[in-house]
C-alpha cells in the first residue's frame, strides 16, 4: 500500500506494531496488548484482549471483513455476488455439513454451542 | 406523488441463531434459516432500490464475528467454510465498532445473568438496534436481561417471534 493511501492511525495506535497488512498489535498501558484492524477505507477496530486469537484467525477476520465491505460497495454499483450465488453456496455448505453429521435435530440446541 | 412509509428494523443476530440457520435440519422448517433467508432477500431488494414496507439493517461487531469463528472452529468445520460463513456475516450486515471499554462500561450496569453476552448487548446498544434475535434462554431471554434491554428500546426475541413481528408489520 502506498504511503498516501495508508490509513492515518488514531493517536492511541501510535505505538502499534504492524504484524501484517491491516493487522496491528496494540500495546495497552497495563502492559498487555490487543489486536487491531486498520481497513483500507480508513476505519479502525480492535479486538478484546480477553480472548486469545491466532494470527491465522486474525487474517481470516481481516480478509472476510475487507471482502464483505468491498462486495457491499460493488453491489451498490450493480456488481458483486447475486442472491442466487449466495443461496447456492449455502445449500452446498449445508449438504456438506449433513454429510459430516453436523446437523441439529432441535435448533434450540444451538444455544448450547456459544455458551 | 404517493407517500411511502417505511419502518426500519435494526437487528443483532446472536451467534446461536446463525449456527441454527447453518445446521438446522430440515432447513425449510427452521425459523432461524427462514429469518436469515428473508434478511438476505430484503438486503438485495434494498440495494436494488425496491420499495419495502419494512427495511432491515443487520448489525455486526468484531466480538460477534470472533464468537462465530470460535464456535465454527470448535465444531471442526473446515477452514474454507468458516471463511465463507464469516464473510457472509460481514457482507449482509453493517459494522458497529464496539470497543473493550464499551463492554466494560456495560459490566457495571447490565444484570449479572447477561454478563456472558455483553458483546451482543454492546453491539445492540451502540448500533441502535430495535431487536436482539437469540435462542439463549440462560442469558438473554431471561426476564432480567429483557427488562434491561427495554430501557434502550430493544426487544429480545427468538427467530420465530421475530418472523411473527415482521409479518405483523406487513412483511413478508
- Do A38 and A55 lie in a common domain? yes
Instruction: Say yes or no: ipTM exceeds 0.95.
Output: no
- Do A62 and A112 lie in a common domain? no
Burial B40-66 (b: 16+ CB within 10 A, else e): bebbbebeeeeebebbbbbbbbbbbbb
- The total domain count for chain A is 2
Note which residues in 39-98 of chain A have CB less than 8 A from chain B.
Answer: 43-51, 53, 57, 60-61, 63-65, 67-69, 71-72, 75-76, 81, 83, 86-87, 89-90, 93-94, 96-98
Enclosing domain of residue A11? 1-80
Tell me whether residues B88 and A86 touch, CB distance under 8 A. yes
Question: Hey, what's the cell of B45?
Answer: 431488494
- Do A71 and A92 lie in a common domain? no
Packed helices A83-99 and B15-23: angle between N→C axes, nearest 10 degrees: 80
- Do A94 and A74 lie in a common domain? no
3-state helix, strand, coil in chain A (%, to 5): 40, 15, 40
- Do A76 and A89 lie in a common domain? no
Torsion of CA B112, B117, B118, B121, to 10 degrees: -110
* pTM metric for this prediction: 0.91
Q: Tell me, what DSSP letter sits at residue A112?
A: G
| pLDDT digit string (tens) for chain A, length 115 residues | 454 555 678 888 888 899 999 999 998 877 788 899 999 888 999 888 888 899 999 999 999 999 999 999 888 888 888 999 999 999 999 899 888 888 887 887 888 877 7
Helix (H) or strand (E) holding B63: helix B62-74
Nearest to A34 among B22, B100, B116 (CB): B100
Which residue reads 435494526 in cell numbers? B10
- Do A68 and A113 lie in a common domain? no
Tell me whether residues B86 and A51 touch, CB distance under 8 A. no
- Do A61 and A110 lie in a common domain? no
CA distance B142 to B138: 6
- Do A57 and A100 lie in a common domain? no
- Do A37 and A11 lie in a common domain? yes
- Do A50 and A104 lie in a common domain? no
Amino acid at each position: 500500500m502506498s504511503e498516501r493511501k495508508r490509513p492515518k492511525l488514531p493517536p492511541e495506535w501510535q505505538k502499534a506494531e504492524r504484524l501484517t497488512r491491516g493487522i496491528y498489535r496494540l500495546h495497552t498501558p497495563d502492559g498487555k496488548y490487543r489486536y487491531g484492524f486498520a481497513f483500507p477505507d480508513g476505519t479502525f477496530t480492535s479486538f478484546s484482549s480477553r480472548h486469545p486469537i491466532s494470527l491465522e484467525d486474525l487474517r481470516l477476520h481481516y480478509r472476510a471483513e475487507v471482502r464483505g465491505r468491498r462486495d457491499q460497495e460493488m453491489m451498490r454499483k450493480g456488481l458483486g455476488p447475486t442472491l442466487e450465488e449466495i443461496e447456492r453456496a449455502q445449500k452446498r455448505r449445508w449438504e456438506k455439513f449433513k454429510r459430516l453429521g453436523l446437523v441439529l435435530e432441535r435448533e434450540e440446541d444451538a444455544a448450547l454451542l456459544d455458551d | 406523488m404517493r407517500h411511502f412509509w417505511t419502518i426500519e428494523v435494526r437487528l443483532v443476530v446472536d451467534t446461536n441463531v446463525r449456527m441454527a440457520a447453518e445446521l438446522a435440519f430440515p432447513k425449510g422448517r427452521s425459523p432461524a434459516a427462514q429469518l436469515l433467508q428473508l434478511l438476505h432477500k430484503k438486503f438485495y431488494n434494498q440495494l436494488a432500490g425496491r420499495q419495502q414496507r419494512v427495511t432491515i439493517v443487520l448489525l455486526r461487531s468484531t466480538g460477534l464475528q470472533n464468537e462465530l469463528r470460535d464456535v465454527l472452529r470448535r465444531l471442526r468445520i473446515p477452514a474454507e467454510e468458516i471463511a465463507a460463513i464469516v464473510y457472509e456475516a460481514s457482507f449482509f450486515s453493517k459494522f458497529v465498532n464496539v470497543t473493550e471499554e464499551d463492554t466494560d462500561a456495560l459490566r457495571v450496569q447490565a444484570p449479572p445473568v447477561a454478563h456472558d453476552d455483553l458483546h451482543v448487548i454492546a453491539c445492540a446498544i451502540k448500533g441502535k438496534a430495535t431487536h436482539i434475535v437469540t435462542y439463549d434462554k440462560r442469558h438473554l431471554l431471561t426476564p432480567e436481561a429483557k427488562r434491561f434491554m427495554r430501557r434502550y428500546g430493544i426487544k429480545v426475541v427468538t427467530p420465530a417471534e421475530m418472523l411473527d413481528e415482521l409479518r405483523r408489520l406487513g412483511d413478508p
